[in-house]
Amino acid sequence: MKLIQAERDTLLKPLQMVTGIVERRHTLPILSNVLIERKDDKISFVATDLEIQIATYAEDGDTVSEGYAVTVAAKKLQDILRALPDKTQVTLETDESRLHAKAGKSRFHLQTLPAEDFPKFPVGSEPQAKITVKQKELKHLLSMVQYAMAQQDIRYYLNGLLLLTEDNDIKVVATDGHRLAFALMKLEAPQEKREVILPRKVVLELARLLNDTDESVTVEILQNQVRFSFSSVVLVTKVVDGKFPDYNRVIPAGYQKHFDINRQLLLQTLQRASILSNEKFRGVRLILTTDNLRIVCNNSEQEEAEEELELHYDGEALDIGFNISYLLDVLNHLSGETVRCAFGDANSSALITIPGNDDFKYVVMPMRI
Amino acid sequence: MAIGATQGVIMPLRALLEKCLMNAIKLLPDLLISQIAAGEVVERPASALKEMLENSVDAGAADITVQLVQGGIKLIRVMDNGTGISKEDIPLALARHATSKISTLEDLQQVVSLGFRGEALASIAAVSRLTLASRRAEQKHAWKVQAESGRLSPPEPVALASGTTVEMHDLYFNTPARRKFLKTEATEFSYCEETFKRIALSRPDIGFTLQHNGTVRRHLRAADPRSRIAAVLGDEFSQTSVLIDEQAADLRLWGSAALPAYSRASRDAQYFFVNGRFVRDKLITHALREAYRDVLHLDRYPAFVLFLEMKAESVDANVHPTKIEVRFRDPRALHQFVFHAIDKALATGQPASRGSVLATGDQEHKPNDRGNTDMAINEKAGAEFSGYPRQGVMSLKSYISPEPPAAAQPQAFYSALFGVEDDGLKSAQTVLDIHTAGTRAKEPEVPPLGFALGQLRGIYILSQNDRGLLIVDMHAAHERLLYEKLKSALDNHTLAMQPLLIPATFYADSLDIVTAEENSDSLSELGFEISTFSPTMLVVRSVPVALKNADVVKLARDVLSDIREFGASQALTSRRNELLSTMACHGAVRANRMLTIPEMNALLREMEVTERAGQCNHGRPTWFEISLADLDKMFMRGK
């Protein structure tokens, strides 16, 4: 039975959208498959890892046959399509147990699994909150904090990102227990207070899928689920069940010692110094005196890097150590011209913000070297 | 019928209960007391044998013969040529709480003999038919008594050379319940043999013979410790072990510890003696295990014969009925000492057999004639003992002196062997140093691991030194070099602490909480900051930077339980080392990487100066040596 005939990209684009979440190794074979389903003139592609489900559509003008549904190995089909020359016409056909992809003189026969076994999970209907923003705004918001998420931490709720709606704000928070990033965005309409933790994988996937355009994305918070709808994609994820740490208590206020500095300048200086930081500890010392910042790194071979920066600083002298990776992370992901670094004492956390802007805060613990 | 059956069960129970309730408190008969005591002390023939052998050793015997029949169940006969017991004292020897070994509480606290409770013979006599025959040198003939179920026969004359012979017939003949717990003859014999080995190891200066069912199973001549260890545990053990002699303050640890290559699948070859007494101590075992951790595969067990010597008053042997457990006054210091001594020895470790210094040395170990020492119940003994010199590490001269009936450590003999014979024992220099120094001085040109000849299939480096051929596993060796480098780089680094932005809290029991509070200083030395959060919760506020991505709570629990049990924790170091080991493994040269001769030589030179270069991170050996003699043998040259 002929499923579809289309140009390569018509199939490849939606396939690439959904395969990001497909795990390569799975105990359940059907999870490495993509569900291809046709209803009327829409062909939908669905992939899932039982936590996240992504669906997208391909438009197809001609109505070749009646509806169908089949599942096939997602990565393999994607690799085949990608390896075909551009603009090739591809035909997909099925018989009982196989899917045949034909393009020019190439023939591929892939094994299929029954579509009714595909574990699509039910999506709740009643949204508790619904926000519509521009795609590029959401993408930017996530990129400000997502690098601070924990990775495989035993406190599973840290392996994700807190998404929070309150009044006119949408806030995102990520932390790995050593540093915390916070960002917020203003909305037009006031919202009810809602709090969910998005899994790490979803955040990374959204960062990949969202476009830098003014097109809108709709975020719906459902019972234990969150649905993102944008372009032709619908992504549904279960939320992480857990209590995220109270970020308000972690973000310090009223620090008197601070300086403003050009972000690029500080970033480049730290990058240079980091070459000679200990590859295990990644320690760096910041030594602040009046109008002067000295940056010192050394490694286990007793090699040392020393940098000096002139800046405006009139607070008390301070000698404080950090994990240099945590500083590089935040400087790399900000976009503004200037950053402000504020300190308490050598043992309390440091706060990095953008001067004149309360929408971003980054808190990092010092390291006692 | 059903009712009758139920009553049948209930009646005796009720009767028993009534009996218990009605009976007044009364003193137990003497025999029963002894039998209860025997239940703890005499668990099986081997434990009776242990008590009898210890008596002979305490009596200053130079030669001890053990005869067993049916695994010791039918008969255990221990014959020694020690001081013997006078006729008057013989009945006392079999009485409970009668001993010649101590007489006051002070003696007990500083006890140097193996026994001191005065219970052993009485206990054995309570559960068997015991015959004791003994003759002091000055007596014309020996006297013997027989005891059955606690009743003594009057002493009668018997022919015997000077010394004591104790015979134990029919163990548990009067307590059939106990008899049922005995295993087969072969099993009981193997327990007896193990006991025999322990005592024999602890006193190489005494000759031992073991016979079973009329055949001689083991015959150990009085010898120097090294030969004794070889005779008991086999040549392989002594050839693949390093000698240890470490001293710190009042502690001294010496003996042999097998290199990881001679590890065992079970704990069978672990002999640890505290002041000459075999013990199985949790603290010691842990310290040794930690010391071996870096070089030994996880499910292998180290083999060792080690002697720990300390002031008699800093160890309490009166803890366990069979004295297999002891209690130390300063467990933390002891743990550290044992750990570092073994760690150091293994780090530099080369098998002792590769040197010649270890030849038996001047044979100072002639069996001492201590015939006039008194083992038995002698009223004067107490006075003698209190005058006995007590130093932390007892000078060997005092042991050689004929008087004290001590559970003497075989120190003289070890000292002779270890080249620290003058009584000072001041020099804590290890034999290894002497040994390597000696070898180096002789052949300055050829380094121990020789010069590389080439590479075998991209896996092994072939090298020759003055003894023959060396085969080096390139990856394993390089891995160890990198690992040691990473470790020492981190060790030299001051410990960096990463305070947590979001502290980790966890539920802890009150023991853990007290441990955390009491040890906050040593915890912060480890890079940990743990404080009390609530009466049932602890909170971790900082972790060592190297482990910042580890499971903080689990790490904290491990560290706390280690500190509680052993006073110190290696848990962090070992976790860190695991990480480093993986890093090293990935960084090391892989098989099939072609090396040039200068590269290979550089690797060999580096191995020579690196600690623990004999084993890879997983405890496998990194090199083997095939001597010219071995090669000659293969080719039948010179035959």
Share of chain A above pLDDT 90, in %: 57
**Strand pairing class (A292-298; A283-289):** antiparallel
- Residue A369 to residue B490, Cβ atoms within 8 A: no
Q: For chains A and B, what is the number of CB pairs under 8 angstroms? A: 63
User: Could you report the per-residue pLDDT of B574-602, keeping only the tens digit for each?
Assistant: 777 777 777 777 777 777 777 788 888 88
Could you identify the residue written with the tokens 């050593």? A178
Residues B229 and B335 in one domain: yes
Asked if residue B361 is part of any domain, the answer here is no
pLDDT value at position B358? 30
- B83/A contact by beta carbon, under 8 A: no
Between B608 and A140, the more confident residue is A140
- A250/B contact by beta carbon, under 8 A: yes
pLDDT value at position B423? 39
Share of chain B above pLDDT 70, in %: 79
- Residue A177 to residue B546, Cβ atoms within 8 A: no
Q: Which chain A residues in 272-301 lie under 8 Å from chain B, judged by CB atoms?
A: 278, 280-281, 283, 300-301
Question: Which of A154, A155, A178, A352 to probe the B interface (max B CBs under 10 A)?
Answer: A178
User: Could you report the per-residue pLDDT of A60-74, keeping only the tens digit for each?
Assistant: 655 566 778 899 999
Between B572 and A269, the more confident residue is A269
Chain A environment of B496 (Cβ under 8 Å): 281, 283, 321, 367-369
- A87/B contact by beta carbon, under 8 A: no
CA distance A163 to chain B (A): 18
- A104/B contact by beta carbon, under 8 A: no
Res. B396 pLDDT band, cuts 50 70 90: very low
What average pLDDT does the segment B47-74 reach? 91
Phi first, then psi: give them for residue B239, nearest 5 degrees: -80, -30
Question: How far is the C-alpha of B83 from the C-alpha of B102, rounded, in Å?
Answer: 17
Chain A environment of B554 (Cβ under 8 Å): 154
As a residue count, chain B comes to 639
Q: Which domain holds residue B35?
A: 30-220
- B504/A contact by beta carbon, under 8 A: yes
Phi first, then psi: give them for residue B573, nearest 5 degrees: -60, -40
Residues B281 and B213 in one domain: no
Res. B639 pLDDT band, cuts 50 70 90: low
Share of chain B above pLDDT 90, in %: 10
Residues B192 and B298 in one domain: no
Query: Up-side HSE of residue B606: CA atoms within 13 Å toward CB?
Result: 17
pLDDT value at position A53? 92
- Residue B502 to residue A180, Cβ atoms within 8 A: yes
Domain A129-249: assigned CATH number: 3.10.150.10
Question: How far is the C-alpha of A275 from the C-alpha of A263, rounded, in Å?
Answer: 19
Q: Which of A83, A18, A6 is nearest to A45 (CA)?
A: A18
- Picking from B497, B551, B552, the nearest residue to A368 by CB comes out as B497
What average pLDDT does the segment A310-332 reach? 92
What average pLDDT does the segment B103-110 reach? 81
Asked if residue B578 is part of any domain, the answer here is yes
Residues B116 and B90 in one domain: yes
CA distance A329 to chain B (A): 16
Alpha helices in chain A (DSSP H): 8-19, 74-83, 135-145, 200-209, 247-250, 263-274, 324-333
Between A195 and B19, the more confident residue is A195
Q: How far does CA A287 lie from the centroid of its chain?
A: 34
User: Could you report the per-residue pLDDT of B442-485, keeping only the tens digit for each?
Assistant: 445 778 888 888 888 888 889 988 888 889 888 888 888 888 87
CATH number of the domain encompassing residue B556? 3.30.1370.100
Chain B environment of A278 (Cβ under 8 Å): 493
Structural element, H or E, at residue A342: strand A338-343
Residues B267 and B209 in one domain: no
Average pLDDT, whole number, for chain B? 76
pLDDT at B405 over 50: no
pLDDT value at position B388? 36
User: Could you report the per-residue pLDDT of A49-107, keeping only the tens digit for each?
Assistant: 888 999 998 876 555 667 788 999 999 999 999 999 988 889 888 888 899 999 989 99
Show the 3-state SS of A40-51.
Answer: CCEEEEEEECCC
Res. B412 pLDDT band, cuts 50 70 90: very low
* Least trusted range by pLDDT, from A241-255, B413-427, B529-543: B413-427
pLDDT value at position B351? 53
pLDDT at B59 over 80: yes
What average pLDDT does the segment B179-191 reach? 88
- The strands making up A338-343's β-sheet, listed across from edge to edge, are A160-175, A179-199, A357-364, A350-354, A338-343, A257-262
Return the domain boundaries, chain A. Answer: 2-117, 129-249, 252-364
- B586/A contact by beta carbon, under 8 A: no
First-to-last alpha carbon distance for chain B, in angstroms, is 89
Asked if residue B23 is part of any domain, the answer here is no
Pick the CATH number of A252-364 from 3.10.150.10, 3.40.50.300, 1.20.1630.10, 3.40.30.10: 3.10.150.10
- A179/B contact by beta carbon, under 8 A: yes
Chain A environment of B500 (Cβ under 8 Å): 177-178, 365
- Picking from B489, B496, B552, the nearest residue to A367 by CB comes out as B496
Is A252-364 the same fold as A2-117?
yes
CA distance A280 to chain B (A): 6
* Least trusted range by pLDDT, from A12-16, A364-368, B553-557: B553-557
- Residue B490 to residue A280, Cβ atoms within 8 A: yes
What average pLDDT does the segment B219-246 reach? 86
pLDDT value at position B19? 65
- B542/A contact by beta carbon, under 8 A: yes
Show the 3-state SS of B593-605.
Answer: CCCCHHHHHHHHH
pLDDT value at position B444? 52
Asked if residue B273 is part of any domain, the answer here is yes
B551 CB burial (10 A radius; 0-12, 13-18, 19+): middle
**Where among B220, B251, B281 does a domain terminate?**
B220
Asked if residue B15 is part of any domain, the answer here is no
Asked if residue B25 is part of any domain, the answer here is no
User: Could you report the per-residue pLDDT of A129-156, keeping only the tens digit for each?
Assistant: 889 999 999 999 999 999 999 988 888 8
B425 CB burial (10 A radius; 0-12, 13-18, 19+): buried
- Looking at the structure, give the CATH architecture of the domain made up of residues A2-117: Roll (3.10)
What average pLDDT does the segment B45-61 reach? 90
User: Could you report the per-residue pLDDT of A30-46, keeping only the tens digit for each?
Assistant: 888 999 988 777 888 99
Chain B environment of A347 (Cβ under 8 Å): 499
What average pLDDT does the segment B294-299 reach? 74
Residues B288 and B191 in one domain: no
Residues B123 and B192 in one domain: yes
Chain A environment of B489 (Cβ under 8 Å): 300-301
List, in sequence order, every residue forming a beta bridge with A47; answer none if it has no partner: A54
- Picking from A154, A250, A367, the nearest residue to B497 by CB comes out as A367
Chain B environment of A367 (Cβ under 8 Å): 496-499, 545
Average pLDDT, whole number, for chain A? 89
pLDDT value at position A198? 94
SS3 A351: strand
Q: List the Cα angle B490/B496/B499 in 5-degree steps.
A: 145
* Least trusted range by pLDDT, from A201-205, B565-569, B577-581: B565-569
Asked if residue B446 is part of any domain, the answer here is yes
pLDDT value at position B418? 45
- B547/A contact by beta carbon, under 8 A: no
Q: Which residues contact B128 (CB under 8 A, 6 or more apart)?
A: B48, B168, B169, B170, B171, B172, B173
pLDDT at B188 over 50: yes
pLDDT at B8 over 60: no
Residues B210 and B320 in one domain: no
**Where among B220, B238, B268 does a domain terminate?**
B220
Contact call for residues B175 and B127 (beta carbons, < 8 A): yes
pLDDT value at position B591? 72
Residues B155 and B264 in one domain: no
Contact call for residues B136 and B162 (beta carbons, < 8 A): yes
Res. B175 pLDDT band, cuts 50 70 90: confident
pLDDT value at position B399? 36
Res. B564 pLDDT band, cuts 50 70 90: confident
Q: Which chain B residues in 548-567 lie under 8 Å from chain A, judged by CB atoms?
A: 548-549, 551-554
Residues B469 and B616 in one domain: yes
Residues B543 and B408 in one domain: yes
pLDDT at B572 over 90: no
- A331/B contact by beta carbon, under 8 A: no
pLDDT at B365 over 80: no
pLDDT value at position B363? 35
SS3 B566: helix
User: Could you report the per-residue pLDDT of A251-309, keeping only the tens digit for each?
Assistant: 998 898 999 999 999 999 999 999 998 777 788 999 999 999 999 998 877 889 999 99
- Residue B492 to residue A364, Cβ atoms within 8 A: no
pLDDT value at position B367? 37
- A159/B contact by beta carbon, under 8 A: no
pLDDT value at position A284? 92
ipTM of the prediction greater than 0.85, yes or no:
no
Chain A environment of B558 (Cβ under 8 Å): none
CA distance A107 to chain B (A): 40
- In total, how many domains does chain B have? 3
User: Could you report the per-residue pLDDT of A161-195, keeping only the tens digit for each?
Assistant: 999 998 889 999 999 989 999 999 998 888 888 99
Residues B232 and B177 in one domain: no
**Where among B317, B348, B379 does a domain terminate?**
B348
CATH number of the domain encompassing residue B315? 3.30.230.10
Asked if residue B166 is part of any domain, the answer here is yes
